């Protein structure tokens, strides 16, 4: 790898490079261009926010960053290694050990209790069952779910499921945390607590990449990447689009008001 790709301007080590990453879902007339050639570099220990309107490709980009999906075109280098050259079993090991995912839709296993959901990823990392139990209990208590550990996801509120998902993301003490709208389903106090926790993890040296719709939450991050229609754009272009969309919404609301 070229030297300039290995270190950033401030000396931080490059963790991840996306080069011309394209993602097309489906084929022919049904094809959806979710990502249109994204270039993105993430350094170790960064806290990056990804912002963009609904459908702009944020979750798809997170799936790429987390090596959960393969691009239709383009290259992803994780610590200099082209992930297309790795076996699926190696990738699964990297994901399990190094990356904690907080998904937009939680992705909890419906037939397992909160405790079992948090304990599960540790099975593959060689923890004893006592260690798994202790660590999962500790994380769930931190998430104020000590009295809900034996409940199934269907017996929990959206915010509670979100917190189980966060505890699960932290169970293997990953270096990288990918959070897709981590505060999307919680009240404002819990939202602040989650952001404080992510900031603390960032201070401890973790790399955090967080998708958010919320300008205020993005300020917790040290850098924001803006997506529009599957492409990375600068802040100005994003803001212009945002203002335009808000104007359209206002017009729609006024029309609705006139009708009723
Ligand atoms: N599995 C899929 N099959 C087909 N199209 C998909 C799939 N996943 C996402 N898409 C489409 O790709 C585009 C980008 O979707 P994505 O989920 O990345 O958006 P997003 O920015 O995360 O939106 P939101 O803020 O609503 O979560 C959208 O047009 C979406 O409909
Ligand atoms: Mg999404």
Note down pLDDT in tens along the chain; length 260 residues.
343 444 444 447 999 999 999 999 999 999 999 999 999 999 999 999 999 999 999 999 999 999 888 899 999 999 899 988 999 888 888 888 899 999 888 899 999 999 999 999 999 888 999 999 999 999 999 888 999 999 999 999 988 999 999 999 999 999 999 999 998 888 888 888 889 889 989 999 999 999 998 888 999 999 999 999 999 999 999 999 988 888 888 888 887 777 76
Nearest CA to ligand 1 atom 28: 55
Q: What is the 3-state secondary structure (H, E, C) of 200-231?
A: HHHHCCCEEEEECCCHHHHCCCCEEEEEECCE
Rounded to an integer, what distance in angstroms lies between the CA atom of residue 151 and that of residue 145? 10
pTM over 0.85: yes
Pocket flag, ligand 1, residue 60 (CB < 6 Å): yes
DSSP-derived 3-state class of residue 198: helix
Ligand 2 center from residue 173 Cα (angstroms) = 24
Q: Which mutation among 29, 55, 214 tests ligand 1's pocket best, with the greatest number of atoms within 8 A of CB?
A: 55
Pocket flag, ligand 1, residue 72 (CB < 6 Å): no
Q: Both ends of the chain: CA-CA distance in Å?
A: 63
One-character DSSP codes across 23-86: EEES-GGG-EEEEEEEEEEEETT-EEEEE--TTSSHHHHHHHHTTSS--SEEEEEETTEEGGGS
Rounded to an integer, what distance in angstroms lies between the CA atom of residue 60 and that of residue 51? 13
Ligand 2 center from residue 196 Cα (angstroms) = 22
Tell me the ligand closest to 58's alpha carbon: 1
Pocket flag, ligand 1, residue 54 (CB < 6 Å): yes
For residue 3, the model assigns a pLDDT of: 38
Q: Which mutation among 24, 25, 214 tests ligand 1's pocket best, with the greatest number of atoms within 8 A of CB?
A: 25
Tell me the ligand closest to 61's alpha carbon: 1
- Tokens of residue 33, six digits: 């261009």
For residue 36, the model assigns a pLDDT of: 97
Q: φ and ψ at 225, to 5 degrees?
A: -110, 130
Fold assignment, 45-65+84-259: Rossmann fold (3.40.50)
Ligand 2 center from residue 203 Cα (angstroms) = 26
Q: What is the DSSP letter of 7?
A: B
């Amino acid at each position: 790898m070229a030297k300039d790709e290995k270190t950033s301007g401030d000396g931080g080590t490059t963790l991840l490079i996306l080069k011309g990453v394209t993602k097309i879902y489906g084929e022919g007339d049904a094809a959806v261009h979710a990502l249109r050639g994204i270039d993105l570099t993430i350094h170790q220990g960064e806290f990056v926010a990804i912002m963009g309107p609904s459908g702009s490709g944020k979750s798809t980009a997170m799936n790429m960053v987390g090596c959960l999906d393969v691009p239709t075109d383009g290259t992803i280098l994780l610590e200099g290694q082209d992930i297309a050259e790795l076996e699926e079993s190696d990738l699964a090991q990297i994901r399990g050990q190094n990356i904690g995912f907080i998904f937009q839709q939680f992705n909890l296993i419906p037939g397992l209790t909160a405790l079992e959901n948090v304990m599960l990823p540790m099975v593959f990392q060689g923890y004893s069952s006592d260690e798994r139990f202790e660590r999962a209990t500790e994380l769930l208590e931190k998430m104020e779910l000590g009295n809900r550990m034996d409940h199934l996801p269907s017996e929990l509120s959206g915010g509670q499921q979100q917190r189980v998902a966060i505890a699960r993301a932290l169970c293997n003490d990953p270096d990288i945390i990918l959070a897709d709208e981590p505060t999307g389903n919680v009240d404002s106090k819990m939202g602040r607590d989650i952001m404080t926790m992510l900031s603390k993890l960032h201070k401890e040296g973790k790399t955090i990449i967080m998708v958010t719709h919320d300008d205020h939450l993005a300020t917790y991050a040290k850098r924001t990447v803006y997506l529009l229609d599957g492409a990375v754009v600068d802040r100005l272009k994003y803001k212009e689009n945002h203002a335009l969309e808000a104007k359209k919404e206002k017009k729609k609301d006024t029309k609705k008001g006139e009708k009723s």
